[in-house]
A and B are shown apart, each in its own frame.
Chain A
């Protein structure tokens, strides 16, 4: 996969847990343009091992001079976000993928309701600029732990003014989803990005209020979980690959020198889907891409986030 060589031009501590990074291209040329809601995958070398994490681009889509991402330091991390926080500084060189948008705005919507939880605010930062440019009807509902964790709240206030509604958990402020989604005009689309319980709550509330599926949008990148080590056989390459506890299947396949397709590396896009030729145990599907029926059938797996508990697993790679 072709990558873009970048260097870090600025680092800012936004909240106790969130850092904002500004990237410029190493050769000084402009970045490709992107659309609101896009992400890039940042490749980092952590102690000799390559980590690739997806992060939403949060700058203005019109600004191709620099890309902006924000990273929340994850307590239960395999090291990627900690590396970004502790080892990446002004001048650091990294590689990123070209932007991909899996969370784009619905062009035909008459109204947009954006719901963000914590670091889930990042994809909306670029979308807001598109929405303002299009003079679209929108509301942003932003929930966070406490005011000190409400990243970019001041900046958002400037962009959204009265369209911004903040909810600080520490002050007992709660977003009432049922009230919010009950009385929306026809043609409204809802978008959610945040922690899993929030994403599930928004999707379920909208569905129970009769909203059509194509008016409900969500994005939630997963980080590959830590699990039990296991072994896989790659049929086409004719090799056996050991997947250690703290490595994803995709990372192990790549480390073995086998080229596998991927885009988001977060269980969302479906690009890395692989056919399962044989297995004698349980496939542990963690992705948001395969349907429940496909997961149950056990013929496909997303190696970026999913794992297996079995003695023999043969993949079509």
Chain B
């Protein structure tokens, strides 16, 4: 990669910090993101209402500590799908002033963001911390399928099987990086496939 080169659409993630003016807090995390939630509670136990949705991974399970640390509103869920379903229900009862914090992989964070978007929460209204993996969701610009958890510079599209070059160009609406067919001009000629998003 050319040094100094970056694409503005590439999301910038930060460390989660409580928003001091929020009237309630909703924290959604997955696997290693549990550590980001623990860091939040190390900073402060906020006065306002708190809801935490967490789904552990076998290799990253902070459930036991979260149960001890989170004072109220903690929901431990088995799968990402259950988190998203619970999120839909929780958001229905919330008002302006609620702040949303998300921690996990990009796949997870942008799935949460899509649900939040449906409720009128815009990108600028969510805080995101990337944890656990750099694996990317990839949107195939040819067949429009999204392939999750891509860890290599070139990945196979789960929809059409094309080999896709993984770009830095990111779509917030789709929640994925753009993937372009790498061997369109010379079929079968592929550069070396390397893991660069472990």
Question: Chain A residues in contact with chain B, CB under 8 A?
Answer: 108-111, 181-188, 207-215
Contact = CB atoms under 8 A, between A and B. Distances in A.
A215 B125 CA distance: 9
23 contacts: A108-B122, A111-B120, A182-B95, A184-B95, A185-B95, A185-B96, A185-B120, A186-B94, A186-B119, A187-B119, A187-B121, A188-B120, A208-B21, A209-B23, A209-B96, A209-B97, A210-B22, A210-B99, A211-B96, A211-B97, A212-B122, A214-B125, A215-B125
Contacts of A187: 96, 119-121
A210 B98 CA distance: 7
Contacts of A213: 124
A253 B92 CA distance: 55
Given A186-B120, A207-B21, A212 B125 contact: yes
A-B pairs, top 8 by smallest CB distance, nearest first, are: A187-B120, A210-B97, A110-B120, A210-B22, A212-B125, A184-B96, A210-B21, A186-B119
B181 to A, nearest CB: 32
Nearest to B126: A212
Contacts, number: 56
B91 interface: yes
Nearest to A190: B96
Nearest to A214: B124
B162 interface: no
Contacts of B120: 108-111, 185-188
A211 B125 CA distance: 9
B19 interface: yes
**Most interface-central of A183, A187, A188, A214 (chain B CB within 10 A):** A187
A56 to B, nearest CB: 26
Given A210-B99, A215-B96, 6 more contacts: A185-B96, A186-B95, A186-B119, A186-B120, A188-B120, A210-B98
Contacts of B22: 210
Nearest to B25: A210
A181 B23 CA distance: 12
B89 to A, nearest CB: 13
Contact of A186 (B19, B21, B91, B124): B91
Nearest to A188: B96
Interface of B: 19, 21-23, 91, 94-99, 119-122, 124-125
Contacts of A209: 21, 23, 96-97
Nearest to B19: A210
B124 A210 contact: no
A186 B121 contact: yes
B119 A214 contact: no
A215 B119 CA distance: 14
Given A182-B95, A185-B95, A186-B95, A210 B23 contact: yes
Contacts of A214: 122, 124-125
A206 to B, nearest CB: 8
Contacts of B97: 182, 209-211
Contacts of B91: 186
B196 to A, nearest CB: 33
Contacts of B19: 210
Nearest to A106: B122
**Most interface-central of B19, B21, B23, B95 (chain A CB within 10 A):** B95
Contacts of A210: 19, 21-23, 96-99
B192 to A, nearest CB: 42
Contacts of A181: 96
A62 B155 CA distance: 49
A210 B96 CA distance: 7
Nearest to A213: B124
